[in-house]
Structure 1
Amino acid sequence: MNVFDYLFTSTQNLEKDFVLGPKETISYKKLHEDSLKVAAYLKHNIGEDRNVILISPNSVFFITAYLGILKSGNVCVPLNFAIEQENLDFIVKATDCTTVFMAKSLQSQQQVANGVQLFDETALSEIINSQESVFFDPKFDKNRLAEIIFTSGSTGTPKGVMISHQNVIANTQSIIEYLSLSSKDVIGVVLPFFYCYGLSLLHTHLRVGGSIVLNNSFIFLGSVINDLKKYKCTGFAGVPSHFQILLKKSKNFKNTDFPDLRYVTQAGGKLHNIFIDEFVEAFPKIEFFVMYGQTEATARLSYLPPSMIRKKKGSIGKGIPGVSLKIINNYGHVVNSGEEGELMAQGENIMIGYYKDPEETKKAIIDGWLCTGDIAVADNDGYLYLMARKKEIIKVGGKRVSPKEIEEVILSVSEVVDCTISGVEDDILGEAIKAVIVLNGPMDQQAMKDKILLRCSEKLSLYKIPQQIEFESNISVNSTGKKIKK
């Protein structure tokens, strides 16, 4: 089955609006019809199995083009709308792309090479107004490539994660199941659709007949809070920085009543326990789902049920429906509970591989299991806890140090909004610990440094106390809202 048909199985004729918001709306029926026309145009003019790049902020334009590309039997390559020209040129060439959908607002920032056909909102409207429908064979190989999502590689060269139609279907169905999503759900979307977490919100709510509210301006906290109330959102999804900013930078958030908000989800990195506690205490009736995933797993791998948020504090939970997880040591053997090792994942949501990179694919997928690159430990009940990324472990005088443990302690200081721990070269210790800290407003930095070091000395072993402390005025985040580690 083509994922397009899966997503519209029971909703293609609904007059109900799928997209809500102050700027634009579109019903299920019109979205289905418009996307089919885009698919027909692409099938007739460029054929199938071609890579089609899509660059746009979240919008009806993005959604229509995205769904049309998938239905046409071509491969969608959604890119960060803040992509550097050099990386765009690299990806256009690497994917042999001859067709690009790009929002008008971005065309002064990025240019496509000669010979590449460019479609913007005006061109999309022309296709919709003139294109006749064509027949699409319902028989479709579900294992065909659906999309390539590019992530930053360890060498700095973007890596293309190849996701099949079945990968998306499997992950979508699992997420719907554990979040108990239905046609009554309305999600507040601040995550961009070029990011797998954001894309999963589109997939799940389209499948169940729910609605999405697009807000591309998270920096204006008031508009996000107003949208959640005005459109009666039942769900909100964010990365750690979203919750940190809402809790620490917004004066009104914790005092606002959200009568319709049933749940929130958090993924895209570790949100430290102090922030989770603060949210749960402020909103005891709103379910808080801690989740874990990777682009290589389409989106999601595990979740912690809200009922276990206090009992299993700091855990990423267990595998989502249809996903198996295990922890192995350096010899490939499964470790006992309480022992650290690399987290491995298996399921129908695991990527096909890296685009044109069989060597990296062999390293990432071993005997059908995805190597996540995350160091984890399981407790006696099978709940998983992430200790660090393999590459983030700091070795101080030969002792292994996890940045997360130190960050948790420093974040317990009430004036601290954010903390990033990293290792810096040291002639004696090999690596020394550096803390980059964001405070909640202007204050005496020396006094705060003394307070932070005192708290560290009370909670941490001597070798885990930062040797360097720097202060920054704001949390540095990228286009997905994820924190940038400098």
Structure 2
Amino acid sequence: MTLPLEIAGVAFAAGLARHGDRPAILNGARAVTYSELAWRVQDFAHRLGTSRRLIVLAADNSIDALVAYLAALSGGHPLLLAPAGNPAALASLVAAYDPDVVIRPAAGGPGANALELDEVRTGTIHELHPDLALLLSTSGSTGSPKLVRLSHSNLQSNAESIAEYLGITADDRAMTTLPMYYCYGLSVINSHLLRGAGLVLTGLSVVDECFWQLFQNRGATSFAAVPYTFELLDRAGFADRDLPTLRYITQAGGRLAPEKVTRYARLGRSKGWDLFVMYGQTEATARMAYLPPHLAEANAGTIGVPVPGGEFRIDPVPGPDDPGGPVDLGQGHHGELVYSGPNVMLGYAQESADLALGRTVQELRTGDLARQHANGLFEVVGRRSRFVKIAGLRIDLGQVEKILAGLGLNAACAGTDAGLMAAVEGTHDERMLAKTLAQELSLPRAAVAVHAVAELPRLGTGKTDYPAVLALAAVSPGSGKPPAAAVPGSSTGARGTGASGTAVVLGSGPDEDGTDPAAGGSPEDVKRIFADALEREDIGDDDTFVSLGGDSLSYVAASVRLERALGHLPANWHVTPVKDLTPRGTSQPKRRLRRIIAPLETSIVLRAVAILTIISTHIDLIRWPGTAHILMAVAGYNFARFQLDGQRLPRLRRQLRSLARVILPTVAFIGAVMLLLGDKFHYTTANLFLLNTMIGPAEWTDAWHFWFIEVLVYVLVGMIALLSIPWAHRAEKRFPLVFPVALVGFGLVYRYNLVPVDILHTRPVLWLFALGWALARARTWPPRLALSILAALTLPGYFDDPWREATILAGILMIAWLPAIPLPRVLHRAVAVVASASLYIYVTHWVVFPDFKEGQPELAVLLSVAAGIAYWAIAVRIMGAAERGQSRLWRRWKARRRHTTPG
């Protein structure tokens, strides 16, 4: 059916133009005025049509998503917000509610048509209540079909209430630290647009130095934080930052420890900004209470007073011995906190038929147990139901137990706002189960702990002893205590996604890992760095980075953070036990210098410089051949450091996993180019199977673009196969330096054409790969000197290009003699990111630069680097998700097998 648009819409969304030319949206590149924003919103509203329809928006913190959000609100279209980065959640909501229009980020990325608008139908099949404006999931990013129905007046009144108690004016500018689809993040947007204030749109984390540069450049006055954000602020050295425009910080999304409230309130008082501790639920649009900043230090455990226009009361709930009396939690009588106000939702929706309902809820029973102090402030002291709220996500503990039961496990779950604890009967891989739960619940890995027990703890009545389950957090391996959680879908610190889906910190600012770079760190700091880089919790004092599964793909992030934590990068840190990674004392002048300039591992710098030189040479911006062969030596150097530790079979699995991380993204990209751009880039089936170097044409064509990766794969496959042979494995273990030196000799046989057959066309690189391997094994200066002389003697004459040969020799000598290169700290993150993405930059740059090579070579280089970094971020996320899915399927298969096997 088709319903004409007769709904006035939400006032703050429909009245943007009244703020004129004031800046509305700011990011690193540009500013959008309210007049321009109003025009864009009106234009997008025309695209949505003249009939009222149900719209689903997969939202991120982008201008285009914000325009679509405001267009729907101003036009009166009921809007369902979903996370842009969670296709499964979006698909679940679409299946449950059958929207008329689906809006999602387009595959092409930012631009004029950055959003894909899928019109399922021109009208609507739904009966949509006139008051219905917005639908938000009660469980954050999980795609649960249970939604909160919010009205136009809910959104408007809560925005006005928040703007009133925060004192928001048109001169304020808020950083968007939280995702737009999360009610807390959305409330920041609504309240600032109401007052004509500015929004600094970003997806950066507070541990990213670029976040603070953007904050200062745009004169931001506030940002929103969840409890985990304050841990990241501690790591990022927030207390030492000079932020003269900062006016206040808001906190919600879970309970912040009272001692932390006190500390940050005191810090704000000394720095000239306020801390607003707040309390809310999606069912109340966003906010129900706030703690006035001047009361925070003395009343740090409270949630404060109701927001303007709202009211609290405390209803008695039955206690264990008094069915009609209030519950007693040992601190006096408490009851359930009940809230009423104009921001209370219309009610819940479980299916599309519920969208026709009007108001079914008059007040909100929060499920929280609370008391009111004599000074009028309210304090939440516990929960009435089996729900916890972790980083803004409401988690049904009973549902978690059902998930585990579906895996064939007998489990009991408990939790707090800090994290989730699951006790599981039997012997299990606790770390893998925790990863599986985190994935299923869309929680950060650090917020979930699992403890295997012989029997679930029981009370005398036979019921599960949930307090005892929660107490297991104190003894759970690798957990220590219920960890703090991060908000769903937000940047929880410094995290760009690694190959396993884990986030790895690549921040450039000081103190990003929680320690003073001049003061050094402790073994616990090292464990945290390794846990972040490798997504492992079971890290002991005797473990090393390599023994924990670290490889050349994850060591970049770990090494950058480790250098900051310890004040230096120890030699052979990757094979040094955690307990032996200790800080080095330095004098005060050296400490000050280290805050500006610090060493970065040579192999990291070489990877970054080499890839930039390679693409600049291909684009004809410069001519500097030879750096690709330096990367071959670096590959051998890292192969020896990260792929040769441990027993033969576990080592083989690790080597094959790392090899797959080279092959899969390369083959996927080649296949995509062949499918989409086959008429422009003439790649062949041989390219798809990385065989062009062996069977391709002799002359240079597009098919030779990937020779470097093909030959590297040949060498890696050959070395992995060789070391899988038991006698070769034993020989390498017994003669760690002689073994690669022998390989150097084998490579030189082909380098000098002493044997006419070139095995797999590896002649140009095999001896360089083996030379890098040998240098990694050369512990003292005599063998390093001998290998350096060998390189100096064997390189001249091979390429008939003295400049190229000198470049390769210089790179090899740097690997041999220069452990680290001093660089300004501000460059560390950029260098680390480029080094991490070097493979992906090489793979993608052939497709990116041709259209810009002739007229804009500098732009061609920048676009090539950006495209490679983007592909790196996407590819490692996909591969990480695949690895997690494989692990989950494996556990389910094992669980089913246990139940179907007799005995």
Code of the aligned partner of 1:188: M
- Give the conservation status (yes or no) of the 8 Å contact 1:326–1:334: no
Query: Cα 1:66–1:304, aligned 2, differ >3 Å: closer, same or farther?
Result: same
> Any residues of structure 2 matched to 1:326-365 within 5 Å, and which?
326-330=313-317, 338-356=332-350
Equivalent residue number for residue 466 of structure 2: 431
Query: Cα 1:320–1:163, aligned 2, differ >3 Å: closer, same or farther?
Result: same
| Structure in which a larger fraction of residues adopt helix | 2
Equivalent residue number for residue 384 of structure 1: 378
- Give the conservation status (yes or no) of the 8 Å contact 1:327–1:334: no
SS at the partner of 2:381?
strand
Equivalent residue number for residue 479 of structure 1: 489
> Any residues of structure 2 matched to 1:44-83 within 5 Å, and which?
44=50, 47-48=51-52, 50-83=53-86
Equivalent residue number for residue 132 of structure 1: none
The structure 1 residue matched to 2:261, chosen from 276, 284, 287, is 276
Report the Cα offset of residue 258 of structure 1: 1.2
- Give the conservation status (yes or no) of the 8 Å contact 2:83–2:90: no
Report the Cα offset of residue 74 of structure 1: 1.0
Equivalent residue number for residue 34 of structure 1: 40
SS at the partner of 1:217?
coil
> Any residues of structure 2 matched to 1:230-379 within 5 Å, and which?
230-247=217-234, 249-250=235-236, 252-284=237-269, 285-330=272-317, 338-356=332-350, 368-379=362-373
Query: Cα 1:142–1:421, aligned 2, differ >3 Å: closer, same or farther?
Result: same
Query: Cα 1:188–1:468, aligned 2, differ >3 Å: closer, same or farther?
Result: same
Cα distance in 2, alignment partners of residues 10 and 36 from structure 1 = 10
Deviations 1:80-115 (A, max 9, x none): 123242x323311322213111112599xxxxxxxx
The structure 2 residue matched to 1:469, chosen from 464, 468, 476, is 476
Code of the aligned partner of 1:42: L
> Any residues of structure 2 matched to 1:118-157 within 5 Å, and which?
122-123=112-113, 144-152=131-139, 157=144
Segments of structure 1 that go 5 or more residues without pairing to the other structure are 108-119, 128-140, 395-400, 408-417, 436-463
The structure 2 residue matched to 1:18, chosen from 21, 24, 34, is 24
Report the Cα offset of residue 6 of structure 1: 3.3
- Give the conservation status (yes or no) of the 8 Å contact 1:338–1:378: no
Cα distance in 2, alignment partners of residues 428 and 143 from structure 1 = 51
Cα distance in 2, alignment partners of residues 8 and 92 from structure 1 = 27
Deviates more, 1:141-150 or 1:232-241: 141-150
Cα distance in 2, alignment partners of residues 341 and 471 from structure 1 = 36
Query: Cα 1:476–1:404, aligned 2, differ >3 Å: closer, same or farther?
Result: closer
Deviations 1:109-151 (A, max 9, x none): xxxxxxxxxxx95447999xxxxxxxxxxxxx99611111112
Report the Cα offset of residue 203 of structure 1: 1.0
Cα distance in 1, alignment partners of residues 304 and 148 from structure 2 = 25
> Any residues of structure 2 matched to 1:110-125 within 5 Å, and which?
122-123=112-113
| Matching of residue 221 in structure 1 with residue 224 in structure 2 | no
SS at the partner of 1:161?
strand
Query: Cα 1:402–1:65, aligned 2, differ >3 Å: closer, same or farther?
Result: closer
SS at the partner of 2:379?
strand
Deviates more, 1:294-303 or 1:90-99: 90-99
Cα distance in 1, alignment partners of residues 101 and 361 from structure 2 = 36
SS at the partner of 1:168?
helix
Cα distance in 2, alignment partners of residues 92 and 288 from structure 1 = 39
Cα distance in 2, alignment partners of residues 29 and 142 from structure 1 = 31
Code of the aligned partner of 2:197: G
Query: Cα 1:281–1:194, aligned 2, differ >3 Å: closer, same or farther?
Result: same
- Give the conservation status (yes or no) of the 8 Å contact 2:136–2:147: yes
Cα distance in 2, alignment partners of residues 358 and 77 from structure 1 = 11
Report the Cα offset of residue 264 of structure 1: 0.8
- Give the conservation status (yes or no) of the 8 Å contact 1:19–1:25: yes
Query: Cα 1:82–1:158, aligned 2, differ >3 Å: closer, same or farther?
Result: farther
Code of the aligned partner of 2:36: K
Query: Cα 1:142–1:170, aligned 2, differ >3 Å: closer, same or farther?
Result: farther
Report the Cα offset of residue 66 of structure 1: 0.7
Query: Cα 1:421–1:311, aligned 2, differ >3 Å: closer, same or farther?
Result: farther
Query: Cα 1:318–1:358, aligned 2, differ >3 Å: closer, same or farther?
Result: farther
Cα distance in 2, alignment partners of residues 255 and 219 from structure 1 = 14
Cα distance in 2, alignment partners of residues 310 and 329 from structure 1 = 29
SS at the partner of 1:227?
helix
- Give the conservation status (yes or no) of the 8 Å contact 2:138–2:148: yes
Query: Cα 1:465–1:142, aligned 2, differ >3 Å: closer, same or farther?
Result: closer
- Larger radius of gyration, structure 1 or 2? 2
Segments of structure 2 that go 5 or more residues without pairing to the other structure are 1-6, 118-127, 319-323, 389-396, 398-413, 421-445, 494-536, 538-903
Code of the aligned partner of 2:98: D
Cα distance in 2, alignment partners of residues 420 and 290 from structure 1 = 25
Cα distance in 1, alignment partners of residues 19 and 198 from structure 2 = 15
Cα distance in 2, alignment partners of residues 297 and 482 from structure 1 = 25
TM, length-normalised to structure 2: 0.41
Code of the aligned partner of 1:469: S
Report the Cα offset of residue 431 of structure 1: 3.1
- Give the conservation status (yes or no) of the 8 Å contact 1:328–1:342: yes
Report the Cα offset of residue 303 of structure 1: 0.4
Query: Cα 1:143–1:301, aligned 2, differ >3 Å: closer, same or farther?
Result: farther
Code of the aligned partner of 1:75: P
Cα distance in 2, alignment partners of residues 466 and 15 from structure 1 = 54
Report the Cα offset of residue 283 of structure 1: 2.9
Equivalent residue number for residue 447 of structure 1: none
Code of the aligned partner of 2:338: M
Report the Cα offset of residue 69 of structure 1: 1.2
Report the Cα offset of residue 183 of structure 1: 0.5
- Give the conservation status (yes or no) of the 8 Å contact 2:55–2:99: yes
SS at the partner of 1:373?
strand
Report the Cα offset of residue 215 of structure 1: 1.9
Query: Cα 1:403–1:106, aligned 2, differ >3 Å: closer, same or farther?
Result: farther
Query: Cα 1:432–1:267, aligned 2, differ >3 Å: closer, same or farther?
Result: closer
The structure 2 residue matched to 1:173, chosen from 150, 154, 160, is 160
Query: Cα 1:6–1:406, aligned 2, differ >3 Å: closer, same or farther?
Result: closer
Deviates more, 1:341-350 or 1:95-104: 95-104
Code of the aligned partner of 2:90: L
SS at the partner of 1:299?
coil
- Give the conservation status (yes or no) of the 8 Å contact 1:3–1:169: no
